[in-house]
Structure 1
Amino acid sequence: MLEKLQPIFSLIPQVKSPVHRMPFKEKIKWTGIILVLYFFLTVIPLYGLSTTAVDQFASLRAVLAGSFGSIITLGIGPIVTASIILQLLVGGNLLKLDLSKPQDKALFQGTQKLLAIIFTLFEAAVLVYTGALAAIPGYQAIVIAQIFIGGILIIFLDEVVSKWGFGSGVGLFIVAGVAQAIIVGTFNFLPSAASPGVPAGIIPQFIYRLATGSPDFSILIPIFATIIVFLVVVYAESMRVEIPLSSGRVKGARGKYPLRFIYASNMPVILTSALLLNVQLFATLFQKLGFPILGTISNGQAISGVAYYLSTPTSLSIILTDPLKVLIYGIVFVGACILFAWLWVELSGIGPKKVAGDLHRMGMQIPGFRSSKAQFEKILNKYIPTITILGGAFVGLLAFGADLTSALGGGTGVLLTVGIVYRLYEEIAQEQLMDMHPMLRKFLGD
């Protein structure tokens, strides 16, 4: 079925892949250029947007990496939604693709890009025509066109980073958005809209209240929550199981193959957050059509039904006022993180079978065991499925708990940012090392 779509794939513009290995400075340059362009897009307002428009997805804004009211209001939402659907289809064998084969991988990537474009138009239309993104009467089509153009630009900027820079555009945009939210939320000296004359930033507001004789230390909770999440994630990133290896080709050569505790990275949290976003989006759509089967939305907030129980709780007080909502949301969020962790490991080529094949082809073996692909797979099966489930549950619980504390940038956003920056640092360090020692590239097979 997907092969029949190849003529359509050929019509979609693509970012050309580099024909040679990208040097370190070149990758840094392109990553910086895309980051600047992203911030430039966040300040381009939507022409025709009503002043009464309310950000229905404010609690997920950091994960979406979008800027409400700008042409990139959708952020990475369409890209991640397309990824969710394809992962579920491939994981359920409804689409029989072997992503270790270049042809099948190209079909997967082409389909994901086409779906992302379709979802960009669909989500823009739903947001505008349901009133979730209120437009001035008569300007609906213009607002949709602007959001669609912004969404397409995000798709191609992500592709540029993936091919010419470090990491991925999805991760880079999340880090940029969360870092901006943390800095502004901490040091904003401008007056708050809710309390005129009182600074909006946490530290200026705390100093202001201290100077006026009414100190409120609870204001500092989001800052402490952000620091705690940062420290916990850094510690968790350093946790790993190391499998001893020796080379059958080079006598005396020994090493270790590290299996990270957070084996599936932070992708489960990104995918789960995007899934919950789509629940809110479809709840709004069904309500507009007169079938509020997912719940009721009022003033941009879910107030009943499935949409209410799956909306992100962002305050510790809700544990006392509505513990059932917290319990249901926590179970669904953590369960979805575990599911997506398993799917991501299987589909991204880091499952036991694929890793065993790679190690065997490299001529590696585990001391005390005979060198065979089956033996590698048997040993890896003891570790990878377990740490995948535990790691998925851990990041889900951490993100859920951090959201309850109202951490700056959103608890989920801080969790994602720390993990992304940690891996980006490792990738940059490895790239710099290989630039300094060209012979290392040959040894690593680059």
Structure 2
Amino acid sequence: MLEKLQPIFSILPQVASPAHRVSFKEKLKWTGIILVLYFVLSNIPLYGLSPLAVDQFAQLRAVLAGSFGSILTLGIGPIVSASIVLQLLVGGKILKLDLSQHEDKALFQGAQKLLAIIFTLFEALVMVLTGAIAATSQSYIWILILQMTIGGILVIFLDEVISKWGFGSGVGLFIAGGVAQQIIVGAFNPLASPTQPGVPAGKLTGFLYLLSTGQSPDVVYYLMPVISVIIVFLVVVYAESMRVEIPLSYGGVKGARGKYPLRFIYASNMPVILASALLLNVQLFANIFQKIGYPILGTISNGQAINGLAYYLTPPSSIEVLFTDPLRVLFYGVVFIGICILFAILWVELSGIGPKQVAKQLHGMGMQIPGFRSSKRQFEKILKKYIPAITVLGGAFVGLLAFGADLTSALGGGTGVLLTVGIVYRLYEEIAQEQLMDMHPMLRKFLGD
């Protein structure tokens, strides 16, 4: 089916792939340029937006990596939504693609880009036409849709530049950049709070101001979000260092031994991103059904779900909700963690890090496990003891940690902080490895880069 769409894929604009190995300095340059462009675009306001517009998706804004009211309002939502659809189609064998094959991987990437562009237009239409993004007048509706669509498409290509010329992925970089900005502003903003005139809006600056003026600040309100950020940071860094190490020996060199590490958070933080984007689409469709007179997913009022499935799948952002509506917290937690586990399993298979793919890779490098016969089947048998288990446990862990951090109202959003720490940790590892290979070219040849 995708082969029939190949002519369309070929005419889609694309970022040229590098014809040479991109050096460390060049990757660093492009990563910096794209990050600056992202922040510039996130500060270009939507022309024609109503000053009374409310951000219906504020609780998911950190995961969307978008800035409400700017042309990047959609953020990475369309990219992730397209990825969800294709992952489910490939995982369900509806699209029979072997992503270890270059041709099938190219088809998958082409389909993902086309679908992301379609989702960009679709989400812009839904947000504006359902009133989630309010225009100052009817004459500005299509202007708003056009601006949001252009911004969404720009994000798709900025992500492609990072994937080919920079470090990591644009999706991860934009999430980390947006959340880091929220944390810094949320903690140290010196400007006056709109709810407390004269008191700085930042949590730490406001707390210190009240102490210095002899007043008694609310410790939970001011310090809990900051403490939550620190706790999530420490837990994620510790979890990232947890791993199962499989001993290896190199068949061609006597005495050459090493270890193959299997991280505890094996599927990285992608399950949380995908799960959050899926819940975003529940909110979008709740808006659509309500607009046409069939609020089967729940009722939306003043930009917030107040009942139905959409209400129960809205992230609880305060510890108070645990006491006022425990059923909602329990339902959301179980569903969110379950979805994270599902996407962790799908992500491992589709990203080529499942037992079968890893066994093929290690066997092809001439590796073997000491005490066992060197064969792909033997590798796969041993890896199947570990990879499925840590995939499920890791997916449940990141889901539970994101859910718990959201309840504590952590600065930048609990889910956002979790994603940012994981993204920055892996980005640091990639930068360190790239710099090492630039310093030692022979190491690059040994690793097959």
Contact kept, 8 Å, 1:242 with 1:258, in 2: the verdict is yes
Measured in 1, the distance between the counterparts of 2:196 and 2:61 equals 23
Which stretches in structure 2 are left out of the alignment for 5+ residues?
A: none
Which stretches in structure 1 are left out of the alignment for 5+ residues?
A: none
Range that drifts further, 198-207 or 412-421 = 198-207
1:303 to partner: Cα distance: 0.2
1:54 to partner: Cα distance: 0.2
Contact kept, 8 Å, 1:229 with 1:415, in 2: the verdict is yes
Q: 1:194 aligned to 2:195?
A: yes
SS at match of 1:105: helix
Contact kept, 8 Å, 1:229 with 1:402, in 2: the verdict is yes
Question: What amino acid is aligned across from residue 159 of structure 1 in structure 2?
Answer: E
SS at match of 1:259: strand
Number of the residue aligned with 2:363: 360
Contact kept, 8 Å, 1:209 with 1:216, in 2: the verdict is no
Measured in 1, the distance between the counterparts of 2:354 and 2:343 equals 13
Measured in 2, the distance between the counterparts of 1:144 and 1:201 equals 33
Question: What amino acid is aligned across from residue 407 of structure 2 in structure 1?
Answer: L
Number of the residue aligned with 1:69: 69
Number of the residue aligned with 2:219: 217
Q: 1:129 aligned to 2:136?
A: no
Measured in 1, the distance between the counterparts of 2:388 and 2:57 equals 33
Number of the residue aligned with 1:316: 319
SS at match of 1:311: coil
Q: 1:173 aligned to 2:140?
A: no
1:223 to partner: Cα distance: 0.2
1:198 to partner: Cα distance: 1.9
Measured in 2, the distance between the counterparts of 1:212 and 1:30 equals 49
1:136 to partner: Cα distance: 1.7
Deviation >6 Å, runs of 4+: none
1:109 to partner: Cα distance: 0.4
Show CA shifts across 1:314-339 (max 9, x none): 00000100000000000000000000
Number of the residue aligned with 1:58: 58
Measured in 2, the distance between the counterparts of 1:411 and 1:295 equals 25
1:389 to partner: Cα distance: 0.1
Measured in 1, the distance between the counterparts of 2:218 and 2:313 equals 31
1:104 to partner: Cα distance: 0.6
Question: What amino acid is aligned across from residue 445 of structure 2 in structure 1?
Answer: K
Q: 1:245 aligned to 2:248?
A: yes
Identity %: 79
Q: TM-score of the superposition, structure 2-length normalised?
A: 0.99
Number of the residue aligned with 1:18: 18
Number of the residue aligned with 2:183: 182
Measured in 2, the distance between the counterparts of 1:200 and 1:159 equals 36
Measured in 1, the distance between the counterparts of 2:194 and 2:42 equals 21
Show CA shifts across 1:388-434 (max 9, x none): 00000000000000000000000000000000000000000000000
Question: What amino acid is aligned across from residue 345 of structure 2 in structure 1?
Answer: W
Measured in 2, the distance between the counterparts of 1:301 and 1:122 equals 21
Number of the residue aligned with 1:8: 8
SS at match of 2:67: coil
Contact kept, 8 Å, 1:302 with 1:311, in 2: the verdict is yes
Match of 1:347 among 350, 359, 373: 350
Question: What amino acid is aligned across from residue 424 of structure 2 in structure 1?
Answer: V
Range that drifts further, 130-139 or 228-237 = 130-139
Question: What amino acid is aligned across from residue 188 of structure 2 in structure 1?
Answer: F
SS at match of 1:251: coil
Measured in 2, the distance between the counterparts of 1:385 and 1:243 equals 15
Measured in 2, the distance between the counterparts of 1:431 and 1:334 equals 34
Measured in 2, the distance between the counterparts of 1:50 and 1:274 equals 25
Number of the residue aligned with 2:160: 159
Show CA shifts across 1:227-274 (max 9, x none): 000000000000000000001111110000000000000000000000
Measured in 1, the distance between the counterparts of 2:42 and 2:214 equals 36
1:199 to partner: Cα distance: 1.3
Match of 1:297 among 296, 300, 324: 300
Contact kept, 8 Å, 1:188 with 1:201, in 2: the verdict is yes
Question: What amino acid is aligned across from residue 232 of structure 1 in structure 2?
Answer: V
Number of the residue aligned with 2:328: 325
SS at match of 2:97: coil
Number of the residue aligned with 2:290: 287
1:370 to partner: Cα distance: 0.4
1:194 to partner: Cα distance: 2.0
Measured in 2, the distance between the counterparts of 1:146 and 1:40 equals 15
Measured in 2, the distance between the counterparts of 1:441 and 1:390 equals 33
SS at match of 1:139: helix
